Structure 1
Amino acid sequence: MGRADARLSLRGSIAARLAVGYGLLLAATVAAVSLVFYLGTVGVFERAIDNQITAIATRMAQAWHSQGSQALRHEIDLQLNDSIDSDVEIVGLVDDRGRVMAGNIPRWKKPLPASGELAFATIERDGAPVSVRLVALPLNDGSRLLVGRDLRELDAIRSVIERALAASAAVSVLLAFIGALVFRRSLEARLGRIRRTAARIAGGDMSSRIAVQGDDEFARLGTDINRMLDRIESLMEGVRHVSNSIAHDLRTPLGRVRNRLDRALQASADPQALVGDARLAIEDIDGLISLFDKLLQIAAAEAGMRTRSFESLDLGEIARDMVELYEAAAEEQGVTLRYVGSAAVHVPGDRHLLANALASLIDNAIKYARAGQYVDIDVRQAETGVVVSVRDYGPGVPEADLQKVTERFYRVDQSRHLPGNGLGLSIVTAIAQLHAAAFRLRNAGPGLEASIVFPGA
C-alpha cells in the first residue's frame, strides 16, 4: 500500500510532473547537442573523405580518357608514393575478371559497387578485414578504376567521440535526475509554505500570512494571497461589526415594542394610551422594516442584480429632482439646498438606485449641516470622468473615521443619539461600485464633501 500510495502521489503531483518534464527537456537538449556535435565532427570528416575520393577519381579518369591506360597507371603510382596519406589511400585498376592490374588493393572477389557511387566496403589489408569508403568508375575497356580510403582512423575517431558522448549522456541523465529532485523539492517547499498557511487559516488563525521572499512568480502569488487574506479578514471583521450593530439596533426598538405590547395586555390599560402605544410600536416596526430594506438594497447592489436596467441618464436632472424633493425638509432644519452643477451630464445607470444614492448623501448632509448654512449639490464633467458631489458646511468628519464611515452600521456618533443606523453611506458605496464608479469622502474645510466619480465615457 505504501508504494502504491507513493506512485499515486507522484502521478497527482504537479511538482513531480514538472520535475519529470524538466528532466526530459534536459535529456532532449543533451541529445540534440550531442547530435549536432557528432555531425559537426564525424560528419565533417566523412564529407572531407568523400570529397577527396571524388577529386582523385575524377583526376585519374581524366588521365585515362586523355592519355590512356599507361597514363592512368602512372597516376596511380604517383598517388600511392607521394607520401601524403599513402598508408590510408586505396587506389587500383581491376579488369573485368576482378584481377588487379595496378594499385595497392588485393584481388577483388566481391561484386563491385555501383558505377560512380560512393559506398562502404570491407577488404583485407595487412591480413585483417578493414572498412573502406570507395568509388568504382567504369573504363572503356571494361576495367574498373577503384579509388577509396581506409577508414580505420575515422573509425577510431568515431569510437572515441561515441564513448565521450555516451559518458556525457550518462552524466547528463544523472545531473538531470538530481536537478529534477532539487527542482521538485524546491517547488514543493514553496508550495508547502502556502499550504501550511492555508491550513492555519482553515484552523481559525486569520492572522497567518505567507512569508514573501524575492520577486518571482511565487512571491507575487504570495503577495496576492496575502492581499486576499487581508480582505477576507477585513470582511469577517465587518461581519462581526455588522452582527453587533444589528443586535444593538434591533434590541432597543424590539424592547420598546415588547414593553408597549406588555402594557396593552394589562387589564387597567387606558384606551387612549393603548392607541398611542400601538402607534409608537408601529413606528418602531416601520423603522426595523426600513433597516432591513436598506440591508437588502446593499445586498442587491453588491450582487449586481440591477445592471440589466441600465440606461443613459442625465445626472443633472436627477440631482435637481432630489434638490426639489428635499428642499422642504432642509428648510425645516434651517438649511438651504443649492444646485450648482452643469446643465446636462449623461452616464449609464439605474435611475432609481442613483436617486437613492443622492437622497442618502443629501439627507446625511442636511443632518450634519448647521442652521443657516448651505448644502451644495454639484454635477460636472471632469478630466477623470463625471462627478456628482454633495457638500455641507458642517463640522466634517474626524480623519480617523473618514475611511470607516462607509462601513455598515459605523457611526461617528458612537452613542447613537442622532437618528440613523449607519447604513446610508454603505448604500451609496454599493451603488457606486455597481456603476463602476468610485465613492470618495474628503473634509472640505469646513464641512464634508461626498463625491461619486463615474469613469469617463
Structure 2
Amino acid sequence: MVKLALRSGLRWKVSLAIAGVGALVAVALSLVVHNAARVSMLNSSRDQMDDRVQIAQRYYESTGGKLMLRAKVDDPALPKPLREAADLGLRATYLQDSGNGAPEVWASTPLRNGKILSIHTRFKDRYDILNDLDRALIIGSVSVVLGGTALGILVGGQLSRRLRKAAMAARKLADGDPDVRVRDAIGGRVRDETDDLARAVDGMAEALRDRLEAERRVTADIAHELRTPVTGLVTAAELLPPGRPSELVRDRAQAMRTLVEDVLEVARLDGFAERAEMQDIELGEFVQRRVRTVAPEARITVARDAYVSTDPRRLERILMNLLANAAKHGRGPVDVTVEGRVVRVRDHGPGFPEELLREGPSRFRTGSKDRAGKGHGLGLTIAVGQARVLGARLTFRNADPETEGGTGAVAVLWLPESSPTSTGSFPIIQVPD
C-alpha cells in the first residue's frame, strides 16, 4: 500500500495556522458585533415606534379623531400578532422582516372606541448604517487575515531559514567537515528552541567525532604495531623449504600482511587527511590497461571515451578492489563499461546483499551467507573512501534480471567534472530508481 505524503515548508504551515486562527477570530467577532448592533438598532427602532404610537394616540383622542405621524386606524395590513395583542388591550410592537431590504417595524395600541391605531416604517437609514458596519467588519476581517498571513510568513520564514541553515551545517558535518558548528551557522540574536537543537547537535557531533577519532587511532596504532612483526613473518616464511606446509604458511602470512595494510589504509581514509594528486588521463585507455593486467578475462567496453582529471593511483585502487570483489563474491563474466566519466563494473553472481545496498559497505562485514568466509569487507570500504578523496561517487545496486539479462552486482563510479579542493565529498551509496 503506497502512502502519499505532501511536503510543505514550515513558513507556509505557520502562515496558514495564523491566517486560519485570525480568520476564525475575525469571523466570530464580526458575527458578535453584527448581531449586537442589529439587536440594539431594532430595539431602539421599536422603542421609537412605541413612543410615536403613544403620541399619535394622545393626539387622536384629544382632537376627536385626527391622525398624525402617518398613523392609521384599523389598518388592514396590520400583522396578526398585533391584532391579538390589541384584543387583550395591550400596546405592542412587531418586527416584520420580509428579507427584502430593511425590516419593517410596527407599533399598535387599542383605542377607547375599540379600534386599533397603528404606525409602521422601515428605518432605512439605520439599515444603511448596519450595512456600512458590515462592510467595515468585512474589511477589518480581511485585513486581520492578510496581516496575520504576512506575520506568519515573516516569523515562519525566519524560523525556516534557521532550520535550513542548521540542516545544511549538519550535512557538512556529516560529510566530514570538522570546522562546522550548527549554532554558528544559524546565527541570529534571538535565542529560541532552534539554538537548543543546534547546541545539542553540535554536542552530539563532537562526542561522535571524538569517539570515531579514538577508534581510528586505536585501529591505526594496532595495525602499525603489527606491521613490523608481520613483515618479519612474511620474510621468515619465504626462507622456509619448499613444500605444502611452507606454501600454507606463506599464503597466510601474506594474507595477514594484506589485511594490516588495508586496515592502515582505512584508518588514513577515515582521518580525512588524504589528498589526491590530480593528472589528466584518457579514461577509456587507462581502464583498459589496468583491467587487462589483473583481470584479462573481463569484458571491456568503451562506449564513449573522455579525458578526466583524477589521481591515477587512487582510481586504479578503486578499479582493482571492485574487480577483486567481483572475483571473490560474484560469477563471471565480469563486464567493465566506460561511458564518458562513468565506469561501471558488473558481475553475474547473486548480487550485493540487502544490508550493503541499504547501509553501504562496512568493514569486516562480507554480507550474505553466499559471500561469507571470503575477504574481510575492507575492499569496498577502501573503494568508497578513495572515491571520496577523488570527489567522485561510488554507487551500488543489483542488476534487474528482466532488463539487464540476469542477476549480478553493479558498481558504478561517477568521476567529477572538476578536481576536488580538499578531501572530496562523500559518495552516495544508493542511486534512485
Q: Which has the larger radius of gyration?
A: 1
Range of TM-score over shorter length = 0.3 to 0.5
TM-score (norm 1): 0.39
